[in-house]
Amino acid sequence: MTTGGRPRGGYKENPDIQLGPWIRDHLTAPTYAGQLYGDYKAAVLAEPLHIKQKASGRPRKGGKRRVISLHGFMTYLYICRRLGLIRYTGDTEVADMPLGVAAIEPGGQTITQPARALYFEMVPGQRGSIAWNNLWQAYREALG
């Protein structure tokens, strides 16, 4: 699918780290989604930034590595889940999270509930699926 001559759909040819194959390779055991995102972000930021040169031969200043947001990453996990590549293993209370979820009752009393973490794991037999190479295209084809 192209719009204005550019390929669309969340897939860039030859990016430094493709998100779908990265999730496939790093989701070997049930993993907390926030930890998976933190690992992906660290891997992207560790890659060297290729800055194009100006016509004068000087490198451009202010080159910045762009990393997908947590919301965007969770959308990719949702797409993987809808395609049957990964599955949700449930909420687990996380003791090492600093804050729980606070709720204020009508009487003005604050109640803190323990924080919850979303865990995902790979569906057995889906490691070799071709959908990992372009998740959005596979999702569009699955929809119809």
Question: How many helices (H) and strands (E) are present in the chain, helices listed first?
Answer: 4, 7
For 70-79, the pLDDT digits (tens) are: 999 999 999 9
d(CA 106, CA 135): 45
Contacts with 19 (C-beta within 8 Å, 6 or more apart), sequence order? 40, 68, 73, 76, 135
Average pLDDT, integer, range 121-141: 91
For the chain, the average pLDDT equals 75
| Domain span at 119 | 16-55+64-143
Asked whether residue 43 is domain-assigned, the answer is yes
pLDDT at 98 over 60: no
Confidence of residue 131 (pLDDT cuts 50, 70, 90): very high
- CATH number of domain containing 96: 1.10.10
pLDDT, position 118:
81
Asked whether residue 47 is domain-assigned, the answer is yes
pLDDT, position 14:
38
pLDDT at 11 over 60: no
Q: Using the structure block, give the residue that is written with the tokens 């496939």.
A: 24
Is 123 exposed, middle or buried (CB count within 10 Å of its CB: 0-12, 13-18, 19+)?
A: middle
Confidence of residue 82 (pLDDT cuts 50, 70, 90): very high
pLDDT at 2 over 70: no
Asked whether residue 4 is domain-assigned, the answer is no
At CA 39, angle to CA 12 and CA 16, rounded to 5?
A: 25
Asked whether residue 96 is domain-assigned, the answer is yes
pLDDT, position 140:
92
**Number of independent structural domains in the chain:** 1
Confidence of residue 67 (pLDDT cuts 50, 70, 90): confident
Residue 121 vs residue 63, higher pLDDT: 121
pLDDT, position 119:
86
Tokens of 105: 């009752």
pLDDT at 9 over 50: no
Beta strands in the chain (DSSP E): 2-3, 6-7, 31-32, 86-93, 101-104, 110-113, 116-122
Tokens of 102: 């606070």
Asked whether residue 6 is domain-assigned, the answer is no
The alpha-carbon radius of gyration of the chain (Å, integer) is 20
| Overall pTM surpassing 0.75 (yes/no) | no
